[in-house]
Amino acid sequence: MRQAIRAIGWAVNLFWIVLLFFGATVIYSAFQLGVVPDDAFISPIVDGVVTISMPYRFNNSGLYDISDLYLASSVKDSQGAEILNSSSQLPLIPRGSQVNLVHNISFSMTEMVADGFSYLLFNDTELSVDMSLGLVYARVIPVQVSTNMTMPWGAPLSNLTLGSVSVAPYNASHMRVSIPFSFENHSFFELNGAIQLEIVDNAGRVVGEGRTGVNAPPQSPPFRTTIDVFIPLTPTSFREARLYFDTSAFSYGPMVIPLV
């Protein structure tokens, strides 16, 4: 029995040494881990998809490998509804190495509008961003770090305003309806494309339409233009105007504006 007691004593001492060595080296190695975020950049819009890229450099100078690393982000509106989410993975960061990871957040304004977030086109707001970083340290310790921050959202069609409609005779068969309108592009992407305007009479028929080009750089002064619509000279009154936006970032419409 004495031999058994001695053997167990040795085993306990050995396990303590292993555990303390492991714990000390894990804490030491954790302080050798560096995460350096580089400047984020916005890629050109392709097929209406806006991509924000956030590069990170992971420098693992510690004694243990980092595996199954993931970086996830979730953007929610002020009501807590998730607008988009994105995640990036890195299977392994070997010890003593530096690995780059580009975390891309891609979103389509058109899809966001279809999902019920059309107010983001017109209203500036604050968005909530949840970011989490997960990894398995030293192959046995899963760790997750998460944080929450707010981000200002600039609407691409902020302060969209239609001016007073002016009607003037154009020729013997048509009259010209001019509708001035303006908006401010508060977003971080450029707005290129066209805006189409339809005039609808009281019977619900489209009696005329006009189109104008749009080029509004991000954070630029208000974009102002006037759309001319030529309408046949028939006695009628107008019920509404329908606006259709077809830009590089999104397509939206109709936006119905009643005409008095």
144 binds other proteins (CB under 8 A): yes
The residue within the footprint of other proteins, chosen from 81, 114, 143, 256 (CB under 8 A), is: 143
Q: Pattern 19-58, binding to other proteins, x per CB under 8 A?
A: x---x---x---x---------------------------
119 binds other proteins (CB under 8 A): no
The pair of three-digit structure tokens given for residue 248, joined into one six-digit string: 């590089």
Bridge partners (DSSP) of residue 1 are none
* Cα(222)–Cα(60) distance, integer angstroms: 48
The residue count of the chain comes to 260
4 binds other proteins (CB under 8 A): yes
* Cα(130)–Cα(25) distance, integer angstroms: 31
Q: Are strands 166-169 and 174-184 parallel, antiparallel or unpaired?
A: antiparallel
In the region spanning residues 224 to 253, those forming contacts with other proteins, defined by CB under 8 A, are none
Contact range with other proteins by CB under 8 A, out of 14-22, 67-75, 216-224, 226-234: 14-22
CB of 117 to other proteins, least distance (A): 25
CB of 59 to other proteins, least distance (A): 16
> Closest CB to other proteins among 4 and 168?
4
* Cα(207)–Cα(152) distance, integer angstroms: 41
Amino acid at 29: S
98 binds other proteins (CB under 8 A): no
Q: Give the closest residue to 58 by CA, choosing from 79, 81, 75, 34.
A: 34
Q: Is 19 helix (H, G, I), strand (E, B) or coil?
A: helix
What is the separation, in whole angstroms, between the first and last Cα of the chain? 102
142 binds other proteins (CB under 8 A): yes
9 binds other proteins (CB under 8 A): yes
DSSP 120: G
Residues that bind other proteins (CB under 8 A): 1-2, 4-5, 8-9, 11-12, 15-16, 19, 23, 27, 31, 140-149
